[in-house]
Structure formats: C-alpha cells, structure tokens
Amino acid sequence: MALLSIEDVLFPGVDVELERLTVGPEIVLVEVAACGPLARCPSCGSPGKRRHSAYWRTLAERPLAGVKLAIRLRVRRFFCDRARCRQTTFVEQVPGLSERHVRSSVGLRQWLRAVATELGGRAGERLCHKLSIAAGRTRLLGLLEAPEVAERAPRVLGVDEFAFRRGHTYGTVLVDVETGRVVDVLPDRTSGTFAAWLREHPGAEIICRDRASAYTRAIKEAAPDAIEVADRWHLLQNLSAAVEKTCHQHRSCLRKHVEQEEPTPEPPVIDLPVPELPRTPLVERTRDRYADVHRLLEQNWTISAIARHFGLDRKTVRRFKTTPLDELLASAKDFGIHKARLLEPFKPYLNSRFTAGYTSGTRLFREIQERGYIGSVQVVRRHLAKLREGRVEPVRADIPSPRRITSWIMRPREILTDQEVEKLLDVRIACPDIARACDLARCFRDLLVNRRGGLLPEWIRQAEQDAPAPVRSFAGFLRQDLAAVTAGLTLEWSSGKVEGNVNRVKTIKRAMYGRASFRLLRIRILTRI
C-alpha cells in the first residue's frame, strides 16, 4: 500500500509544495508554495510568462484534530504583456485553496457557508466556537448569497402565503411542485406582486393554490393559459367547517330527540366543598406573622421595636396585636384564588341545565347564586360559551358536541369504532338536516379520493337543492371556482409540498426574522435545501 505524503493529506488535489510544518500547542502553521501551471490574467486571460515577484499570504483553514490550522502560502506575481490590458501585474490563485481578496481557504468558506445556511448567525457562531473556528455572526451571514432564480417558472408551480406576523403582514412562497424545492419568496401576498413575478418568469402550465382570491386574480391576469388547481386539503377543511356549523345550528334537534326517549332528569344536587382556608401564600404569611408578633409581645417587646424588627408599619403591628387570628385569615382568604375555581362545584348543575335547554347566563347565575355560588357572572357566561361552541363536553353523553359529530362524518367509515357508528346513526335519526349534510360530505370525499371531478357539477346541483344552509353556501363557493376545483378533484397535483415548505419557512422565520430583514430571510429559505 502506497504511503500518502503530508501534501496529499492536507491539500488533496491542490498544486502546492510543502516547505515547513510548525506544530504548536494552540495552532499548527503550514508553509507551502504554489507550484501549479502559469496563471492567467484575470482581465484579459493571457498567460503570465514573466515573473514579477513573490510574497506570502496567510489563510485560515479548517481545524486539524481540534487544533487551529493556519496556512502561509507563497504565491507569484506576473506581468501582463498584453499592451491593451489595463492590468499591469496580477497574482496567481491556487484552485481549491485560495481566492482573490479572501483570507480563508476555499474549504473553510464552504464550511462557514454551510453553517450559516443551516443555523444562521448566532447559533452558527456558537457552533464555530466549539469547532475552534474564528467566525462571528456578521461574517457568517455575509457569506450567504441568494441563488439566481431561473428565468422560466417551473411547469407545475405551487403558491401559498405565510405569516411574517400573524394577522398583520404576510409573504408568498413559490414552490416547484414536481421537485419540492422553493423557487422564490415574495415580500407580500398581493395580486400585483405575484402577477409581476409571473410575467417576469413565464412557463407555468399548472398552478396549485388555495382558495385565496388574490392569487386567482394574478393568475388570470398574468398567466391566463395556466391550469389552476385548488388544493384538496383546503376543500375538505372548508367542507368540515360547513358541516360543523350545521351541527351547531341543529343542536336543538338532538335535545328534542333525547327528551322524547328519556324523561329529563332532575338537576343534580350540588355538593359544596367543606369550607376550609385555602393554602395560599398570603394566608400562610398572615398566620406566620401573627405568631411572630405575639411571640415577641409575650417577651415584652414594644410595638415600635417589633415594627423595626420586621420592617412593618406600626399600624400593621397594632392590627396583628388587637385583631383575632380568625378575622385576619378571613380577610386574606379571598386573595390568591383563581375565580374560575369557585365554579367547579356548580359545573355539573350548569351542564345539566344547559343540556335541558336553559341557556340564559343571567338565569343560571341566579340559580347557582341561590345555591351558594359567590363568584361573578362573567365566569358563568364564559363556561356557557364553551358549551355552545362544543369546546366543553356536557354532562349528558348522549348529546355529542358538534365538533365530535363532524369528526365522525369526515373520517372514513372503516376507521370508526362500532360505538361511534352507533352514535352517528342516532344523530342521523334525530336530525334529517345533519343526515343530509353527512351524505353530501361523504359523497364529496368520495369524489375527492377517487378523482371523480367530472361528477362535481351534479354534486353542486344536489347540494344547492336540498342541503342545509352552510353546505349550500359551500357549494356556491365551489361553483364560483368550478374550473380550479374540478382540476383539483381530477389531476394528481396538489399543494401538499407547498404546505411542507411553508412549515419549513415558519421554522426559519421564528429562529431569526425578528432580528433580521426580509432579504436575509429570503436568502436562508432559498439556500437551505
């Protein structure tokens, strides 16, 4: 087996000759001389035949076994003999090792650029410190450069928005759906910006989008021949919202059905907790301070001396002296308790009355107030609002929440349990409108899964005929965007890869955008693969 020289180990494939190697406790210094072919003038390209001089350059290099490595490189300067060239002399560069006006090796710059791409400035600086590389966050971020955007857009283009600051400012990310790579990032989500980009980068034949109207206007204006594809996930999400709204509107049907089958039970008896002092910091401090004050009083301390000893006002010490402990604790017990905890013993009663049809917050507040409730009416109203929205399960399990009914309808039949199938059947029997919404939702899901976009007009016609109002409204929106929705239910393309890149953009943005500019954010998105 052939033995490798030091040059082959430290500089593989680089035309240099080792002259000296100095090993120190903190740094390794390597002195090499360039020995490659004659260099060419960077201005005119003619070879340098006459040598002018030579000098030493110092380059930072990647660490060697955890120790800093520095290179002293001797390079040659040549005359440029072409008369019309403005470059009188020039210095040779060693391919794979040195570059003009740069004091680090090519390999080290590649390392630093990779660190900056993956981690950004501050995190990258911390990693470089651990790797024994001298590089600050400003230098790391300065190495990032945005790649050139192709002149033509990809054949299948995906577009979606992402939030710089949720609810205030948004940007747009453009993705090549076939490869899953980000093509470009735009500073806003307006139709004018996207239309201008489409004019500058023609070639998109298919554009996948959500149902945002701004992107639709831009496509019709700048790329009218492109096929628009509505995203299937957003279509299911909008249909799910319509079904849940239907379940909210017809909740009374479920109550009537239960009342017809079973007599309304009496409201449960409220078992109030045994009165006891809460273990709050203020109560404990009051008890300890009362004991300390009376202990010193028994030792014949004056009120002024006790006040100075504990750093209290004399009036406070006198109050602890003259007031019984029970009164002091009674005045302190209401502090430090979350008011919502006062409602806990009364929630079963409220849930039962709400299920029975009594939904007035003022009335129920007065009822539990007569039974010992000492909290505020706002806490009661907040709890009732959660019951109306389905975010809190009522006591009676035979009336499921609208969100749970919607999940039974939108999920495939084969993954529902026998108990869920039975409960959904009871809901369908109790309310014909929910049953109709269930049939239409499952039919639409079947069209989407099996790519039967040609049957969509018939589905819309049936939904507009006899569907509940929320589902009928959803069908009307589909008719307004019929071509894109039909393509989404027919073609294989969707915005799945776009949504994945949006999540990646959120990760990068949360790590650095609050302290940086849109330019830097765009560079990191485009350079990070």
Domain coordinates in residue numbering, the chain: 6-103, 109-142, 156-231+494-527, 240-248+400-488, 263-274+338-389, 281-332
Residue 48: what residue type?
Answer: G
Q: Which residue did the predictor score with more confidence, 529 or 188?
A: 188
Q: What is the pLDDT of residue 198?
A: 93
Confidence band of 165 (pLDDT split at 50, 70, 90): confident
Q: Please state the separation of Cα 87 from the chain's center in Å.
A: 53
Q: Is 289 left (phi over 0), alpha (psi -120 to 50) or beta?
A: alpha
Element (H, E) at 508: helix 496-512
Can you tell me the mean pLDDT for 462-482? 91
What CATH number is given for 156-231+494-527 in this structure?
3.30.420.10
Residue 490: what residue type?
Answer: T
Q: What are the φ/ψ torsions at residue 461 (nearest 5 degrees)?
A: -60, -45
Q: Is 300 left (phi over 0), alpha (psi -120 to 50) or beta?
A: left
Q: Which of 30, 35, 10 is nearest to 92 (CA)?
A: 35
Confidence band of 514 (pLDDT split at 50, 70, 90): low
Q: Which of 175, 147, 143, 150 is nearest to 161 (CA)?
A: 175
Q: What is the pLDDT of residue 13?
A: 78
Tokens of 289: 């301070």
CA distance 269 to 348: 9
Can you tell me the mean pLDDT for 22-50? 85
Element (H, E) at 471: helix 469-480
Can you tell me the mean pLDDT for 5-18? 78
DSSP-based three-state secondary structure for 467 = coil
Tokens of 259: 């009342």
| pLDDT tens, position by position, 67-96 | 888 889 988 898 888 888 888 888 888 888
CA distance 301 to 308: 11
pTM: 0.62
Can you tell me the mean pLDDT for 28-57? 86
Q: What angle is formed at CA 10 by the lines to CA 9 and CA 16, rounded to 5 degrees?
A: 110
CA distance 158 to 522: 17
Helix (H), strand (E) counts: the chain: 23, 10
Can you tell me the mean pLDDT for 306-325? 88
CA distance 393 to 399: 9
**Three-state secondary structure string covering 254-293:** HHHHHHHHCCCCCCCCCCCCCCCCCCCHHHHHHHHHHHHH
CA distance 363 to 243: 31
Confidence band of 397 (pLDDT split at 50, 70, 90): very low
| pLDDT tens, position by position, 112-149 | 888 888 887 788 888 888 888 888 888 888 888 778 88
Q: List strand residue ranges (DSSP E) for 187-266, in order.
A: 206-209, 227-230
Q: What is the pLDDT of residue 393?
A: 54
Other C-beta atoms within 10 Å of 432: how many?
A: 13
In contact, 496 and 503? CB cutoff 8 Å: no
CA distance 390 to 243: 14
Write down the mean pLDDT value for the chain. Answer: 84
Tokens of 90: 């020039």
Tokens of 179: 């490869």
Beta bridge partners of 208: 158, 229
Other C-beta atoms within 10 Å of 157: how many?
A: 28
In contact, 15 and 35? CB cutoff 8 Å: yes
Q: What are the φ/ψ torsions at residue 378 (nearest 5 degrees)?
A: -65, -35
